[in-house]
């Protein structure tokens, strides 16, 4: 009896395994044949893409993120692209520091056929080791759109030996602001909207605002300003921009770059922050806050102003309030405002890198680099960019439609952006931007105004976005030449890290000085320590690269 039972079980197991295997192959075959037309001719889809007979699979690593979330978010667009293009894009992320993971990949040899979101120096590391495919060889045959779209920067991606290994992602100049000062709108208008222009005048208003709202509804103390650590990275470049510096550096016409610590403007901005601290109006956790800590305070109405990216006060401000407060009114929000120091010629708040700050390489694991090139040559087009940036069209939850070669917005989605009621969880679900490899973020060439960022397409119609753009329109600048990274394995990289670490510590100490004299002493000590740690070497390196780019990137 026992023997018979075991025999039966074995038979069922073996049979079901065989059935399962054969079923899968049938499905595969069916899927493959589906892509061929009855006549055997190649099928071209509505996007003008010649659908390959065999599924093209592109696995790409894109950095640190939550793998489960990314898998979930990319699923919808992934399926659409597989169905329509017979291309399977698979974005691989790990919940591990990107630098560590990349090094581990290099050591172990375990990496996918494409890697994206690499800084120029990271990409160079892969190229130096012969692990990146030279893609210049495919340009004439498969790169027509790539060449066209990347003008006038295209030649700058070639190395000195005339070889091309990397293509940029998020290239292009989108003339919308990124960083600015922010002020609590309803409280500001209640003050009679007094005019201000300089950081000092702005702080004066924040001070009055804090005096009017010294505690929040829970009785917790309020502050004029706060920030997110590391402050010298997250806030200082924007404050320095208010004093006329570019991304934390003073740049001469000849291309000499001086770090803000070594400038008069650097001292001025430190004095500005120290004054806020000495008045007891700088959040004492300013140099410790992680984003979530800061968000908790900000959404609890404890911070009057902010200096940083525009989305931060949206995300931690009205986007929270409209969910938790039934009586929320649209004026209850922060608006983004321009600040310019009295002596500054211009405020440089939003540096743009039109050449692209991150890059994509095809690795030596790619069996058919040509297929990957073909896909990138499509996805870099304006229509490819829409697909990657906005998600699949013509679906029940889509934000756009694409019919008979023409595209249009889904009015409901557009209205939600204009009314600032769009739920960004929907963007994730649509897979917006999750399958990006080489798409640009500037205005598209075919209509002159669309952009990959779905929510940035209606800035003239969206009231609050328009206010922001109008306030900050002359604070945006092209910083492509000034966007300089130090190559990996260059000893200067250690020096830079040491300086970055020391700067944050020493500047925190300077800002949190109890008297102006103490602040001056701490500032000078900081300057001396950083310069003796090699800050001048960094300045020289950057100046040399800047000047050489000025000559070669004309």
Partner 1 sequence: MKSELAQVSVQPTSRLQLVKRQIYKERQLWLICIPMIIWVFIFSYLPMYGIIIAFMNYIPGKPIFSSDWVGLLHFKTFFHSPDFWNIIRNTLAISGLGIVFGFTAPIVLALLLNELRMKRFKRVIQTISYLPHFISWVVVASILFALLGNEGFINDMLLRLGIIHQPIAFLGEGKYFWGLLTTTNIWKDVGWATIIYLSAIAGVDTEQYDAGKVDGLGRFGMVWHITLPSIRPTIVLLFILGIGGILNAGFEQQLLIGNSQTREYHEVIDTYAYKYGIQLGNYSYGAAIGLLKSIIGLALVLGANRISKKTLDTSIL
**Tokens standing for residue 186:** 């309803």
- Angle, helices 516-532 vs 491-511, to 10°: value is 170
Between residues 419 and 525, which has the closer beta carbon with respect to partner 1? 525
Between residues 230 and 442, which has the closer beta carbon with respect to partner 1? 230
Alpha carbon distances (Å) from 489 to 110, 130, 537, 543: 21, 16, 16, 20
By CB under 8 A, residue 107 contacts partner 1: yes
Sign of CA dihedral 124, 354, 163, 376: positive
- d(CA 497, CA 251) in angstroms, rounded, equals 22
Between residues 125 and 432, which has the closer beta carbon with respect to partner 1? 125
Single out the segment in contact with partner 1 by CB under 8 A; choices: 86-94, 201-209, 426-434, 499-507: 499-507
By CB under 8 A, residue 525 contacts partner 1: no
By CB under 8 A, residue 220 contacts partner 1: yes
Question: In the set 128, 141, 159, 548, which binds partner 1 (CB under 8 A)?
Answer: 128
Q: CB 465 → partner 1: shortest distance, Å?
A: 34
Q: CB 504 → partner 1: shortest distance, Å?
A: 4
Between residues 116 and 234, which has the closer beta carbon with respect to partner 1? 234
- d(CA 168, CA 357) in angstroms, rounded, equals 7
Burial (CB < 10 A; 0-12, 13-18, 19+), residue 70, is buried
Between residues 155 and 215, which has the closer beta carbon with respect to partner 1? 215
By CB under 8 A, residue 230 contacts partner 1: yes
Question: In the set 69, 129, 524, 548, which binds partner 1 (CB under 8 A)?
Answer: 129
By CB under 8 A, residue 92 contacts partner 1: no
By CB under 8 A, residue 419 contacts partner 1: no
Alpha carbon distances (Å) from 436 to 62, 135, 356, 408, 467: 9, 18, 13, 21, 30
Between residues 304 and 472, which has the closer beta carbon with respect to partner 1? 304
56 and 370 in contact (C-beta within 8 Å)?
Answer: no
Between residues 421 and 489, which has the closer beta carbon with respect to partner 1? 489
Q: CB 373 → partner 1: shortest distance, Å?
A: 24
Unique residue bearing structure tokens 């030649």: 155
The contact pattern for partner 1, residues 131-170, with x = CB under 8 A and - = no contact, is: x---------------------------------------
- d(CA 447, CA 258) in angstroms, rounded, equals 40
Q: CB 213 → partner 1: shortest distance, Å?
A: 18
**Residues between 25 and 54 that touch partner 1 (CB under 8 A):** none
Q: CB 286 → partner 1: shortest distance, Å?
A: 10
Unique residue bearing structure tokens 């229509």: 383
DSSP three-state, residue 332: coil
The contact pattern for partner 1, residues 264-303, with x = CB under 8 A and - = no contact, is: ----------------x---xx-xx---------------
**Tokens standing for residue 121:** 């120096």
Q: CB 111 → partner 1: shortest distance, Å?
A: 10
By CB under 8 A, residue 95 contacts partner 1: no
3-state helix, strand, coil in the chain (%, to 5): 50, 15, 35
Question: In the set 64, 72, 83, 106, which binds partner 1 (CB under 8 A)?
Answer: 106
- d(CA 501, CA 332) in angstroms, rounded, equals 37
236 and 266 in contact (C-beta within 8 Å)?
Answer: no
DSSP three-state, residue 296: helix
Q: CB 320 → partner 1: shortest distance, Å?
A: 19
70 and 77 in contact (C-beta within 8 Å)?
Answer: no
Strands (DSSP E) contained in 71-136 are 87-94, 114-118
By CB under 8 A, residue 532 contacts partner 1: yes
485 and 350 in contact (C-beta within 8 Å)?
Answer: no
By CB under 8 A, residue 498 contacts partner 1: yes
By CB under 8 A, residue 505 contacts partner 1: yes
Single out the segment in contact with partner 1 by CB under 8 A; choices: 50-58, 123-131, 169-177, 209-217: 123-131
Q: CB 520 → partner 1: shortest distance, Å?
A: 20
Between residues 100 and 419, which has the closer beta carbon with respect to partner 1? 100
- d(CA 6, CA 322) in angstroms, rounded, equals 63
By CB under 8 A, residue 489 contacts partner 1: yes
By CB under 8 A, residue 488 contacts partner 1: yes
Sign of CA dihedral 345, 350, 351, 353: negative
Show Cβ contacts of residue 191 under 8 Å, excluding neighbours closer than 6 positions: 205, 208, 209, 212
Between residues 202 and 507, which has the closer beta carbon with respect to partner 1? 507
Between residues 123 and 376, which has the closer beta carbon with respect to partner 1? 123
By CB under 8 A, residue 198 contacts partner 1: no
By CB under 8 A, residue 69 contacts partner 1: no
Show Cβ contacts of residue 61 under 8 Å, excluding neighbours closer than 6 positions: 92, 93, 94, 101, 105, 111, 112, 114, 115, 116
Q: CB 128 → partner 1: shortest distance, Å?
A: 8
Show Cβ contacts of residue 180 under 8 Å, excluding neighbours closer than 6 positions: 238, 307, 310, 336, 337, 338, 339, 349, 350, 468, 471, 472, 475
Query: Binders of partner 1: how many residues, by CB under 8 A?
Result: 39
Binding site for partner 1 (CB under 8 A): 97, 99-100, 102-104, 106-107, 109, 125, 128-129, 131, 220, 229-231, 280, 284-285, 287-288, 488-489, 491, 493-494, 497-498, 501-502, 504-505, 508-509, 512, 529, 532-533
């Amino acid at each position: 009896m026992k023997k018979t039972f075991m025999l039966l079980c074995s038979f069922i197991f073996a049979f079901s395994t065989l059935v399962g295997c054969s079923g899968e192959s049938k499905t595969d075959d069916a899927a493959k044949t589906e892509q061929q037309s009855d006549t055997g001719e190649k099928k071209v889809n509505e996007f003008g893409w010649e659908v390959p007979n065999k599924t093209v699979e592109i696995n790409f690593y894109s950095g640190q993120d939550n793998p489960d979330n990314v898998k979930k978010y990319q699923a919808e667009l992934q399926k659409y692209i597989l169905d329509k293009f017979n291309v399977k894009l698979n974005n691989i992320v790990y919940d591990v520091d990107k630098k560590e993971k990349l090094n581990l990949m290099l050591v172990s040899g375990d990496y996918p056929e494409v890697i994206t979101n690499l800084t120029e120096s990271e990409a160079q590391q892969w190229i130096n080791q012969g692990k990146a495919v030279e893609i210049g060889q495919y340009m004439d045959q498969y790169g027509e759109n790539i060449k066209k779209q990347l003008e006038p920067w295209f030649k700058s991606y070639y190395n000195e030996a005339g070889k091309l290994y990397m293509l940029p992602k998020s290239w292009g100049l989108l003339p919308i602001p990124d960083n600015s000062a922010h002020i609590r709108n309803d409280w500001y208008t209640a003050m009679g909207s007094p005019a201000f222009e300089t950081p000092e005048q702005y702080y004066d208003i924040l001070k009055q605002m804090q005096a009017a709202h010294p505690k929040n509804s829970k009785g917790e103390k309020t502050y004029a300003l706060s920030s997110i650590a590391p402050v010298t990275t997250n806030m200082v470049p924007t404050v320095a921009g208010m004093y006329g510096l570019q991304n934390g550096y003073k740049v001469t016409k000849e291309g000499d770059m001086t770090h803000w610590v070594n400038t008069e403007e650097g001292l001025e901005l430190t004095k500005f922050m120290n004054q806020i601290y000495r008045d007891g109006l700088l959040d004492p956790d300013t140099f410790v806050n992680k984003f979530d800590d800061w968000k908790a305070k900000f959404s609890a109405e404890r911070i009057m102003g902010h200096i940083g990216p525009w989305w931060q006060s949206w995300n931690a401000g009205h986007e929270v309030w409209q969910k938790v407060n039934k009586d929320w009114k649209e004026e209850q929000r922060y608006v983004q405002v321009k600040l310019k120091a009295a002596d500054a010629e211009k405020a440089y708040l939003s540096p743009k890198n039109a050449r692209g700050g991150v890059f994509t390489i095809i690795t030596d694991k790619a069996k058919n680099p040509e297929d990957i090139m073909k896909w990138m040559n499509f996805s870099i087009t304006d229509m490819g960019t829409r697909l990657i940036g906005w998600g699949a069209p013509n679906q029940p939850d889509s934000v756009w439609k694409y019919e008979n070669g023409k595209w249009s917005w889904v009015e409901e989605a557009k209205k939600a952006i204009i009314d600032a009621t769009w739920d960004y969880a929907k963007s994730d679900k649509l897979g917006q931007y999750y399958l990006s490899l080489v798409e640009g973020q500037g205005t598209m060439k075919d209509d002159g105004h669309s952009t990959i960022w779905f929510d940035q397409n209606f800035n003239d119609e969206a009231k609050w976005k328009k206010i922001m753009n109008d306030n900050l329109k002359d604070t945006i600048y092209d910083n492509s030449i000034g966007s300089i990274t130090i190559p990996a394995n260059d000893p200067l990289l250690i020096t830079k890290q040491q300086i970055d670490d020391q700067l944050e510590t020493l500047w925190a100490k300077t800002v949190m000085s109890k008297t102006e004299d103490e602040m001056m002493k701490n500032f000078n000590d900081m300057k001396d320590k950083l310069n003796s740690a090699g800050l001048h070497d960094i300045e020289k390196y950057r100046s040399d690269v800047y000047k050489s780019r000025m000559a070669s990137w004309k």
